[in-house]
Amino acid sequence: MCRIVRSVTLADHQSPKEKKLVFLTARVHPGESPASFICQGVIDFLVSQHPVAQILRDHVIFKIVPMLNPDGVYLGNYRCSLMGFDLNRHWQDPSPWAHPTLHAVKQLIVQMNQDPRVSLEFYIDVHAHSTMLNGFMYGNVFEDEERVQRQAVFPRLLCQNAPDFSFSNTSFNKDVVKAGTGRRFLGGLLDDSSYCYTLEVSFYSYMTAGSTAPVPYTEETYTKLGRNVARTFLDYYKLNNHIKDNRPTHIQSEDIISPTGDRNNKGNGVSRDAAADKEKDKSQGVRH
């Protein structure tokens, strides 16, 4: 059962420069519970004392809404809200009465996009996929070839950091049926320095390079993908030179301390033995 019910804003208030802003949402479709574990991985990493997380907090603002459809999750719905709406088809004109969470988040995104102190550069909506393997992304289609190439940079970097992420499954489209999704609507609303993605992850398995059989996803491997998503912003914004004393930039489970002070996500729904987990990951080829 999903246990994520919080939103996190991380920002450094010491720098007068325009800050980069990353906006992430999840669980607009309530039955896609793997999205919550990815979001959990992002949040737990960003609030940890890992050197990469500290650098990211100093240079990037993260706005995170981990559950866009809380009433649907509470009711056990697969795709719809309490009112029977697929919220991910109503971004164009959300109603404050029928789609209150969507309406509020859209207003916040528009407000942040107009704030001269920040540059809203990413919107990522996290989902789970019922037929495809691995993690992958959907992006938008642009006429400007340079913008097309820039849009591919983040998923390519994520593919290098996360062995379970597939760039070959990543695609860019403008299907009419998806016009009301967050990715499509915000991709047309925000300026050409912003990139909007749907991050999908398989409900069941992933395959790493060179493997011959799929590996079942677990709560922990979903959260690892979330940690790798967060870590990839270090590469995207070329912040590696801010890491001091040659400290490692790779992520291990024991490096992540939850807000309760527990290591390895204990107490927040993903409680596992760290040593056993590392051995399991080694056998599965999972990168920490």
Q: Write down the domain spans for the chain.
A: 8-284
Residues taking part in catalysis:
200
The amino acid at residue 272 is R
- Pick from 70, 62, 75, 66: which is nearest to 6 by CA? 66
Q: Are 124 and 199 in contact (CB under 8 A)?
A: yes
Q: How far apart are CA 273 and CA 232, in angstroms?
A: 26
The conformation of residue 212, written as its DSSP 8-state character, comes to S
* Fold classification of 8-284 (topology level): Aminopeptidase (3.40.630)
Confidence of residue 251 (pLDDT cuts 50, 70, 90): low
> pLDDT averaged over the chain?
84
- Pick from 261, 249, 258: which is nearest to 223 by CA? 258
Report pTM: 0.82
Q: Express each pLDDT in 166-213 by its tens digit.
A: 999 999 988 777 888 999 999 989 988 899 999 999 999 999 988 889
The amino acid at residue 15 is S
pLDDT above 50 (res 86): yes
Upper half-sphere CA count for residue 46 (Cβ side, 13 Å) = 29
Q: How far apart are CA 23 and CA 135, in angstroms?
A: 19
- If phi over 0 gives left and psi between -120 and 50 gives alpha, with beta otherwise, what is residue 268? alpha
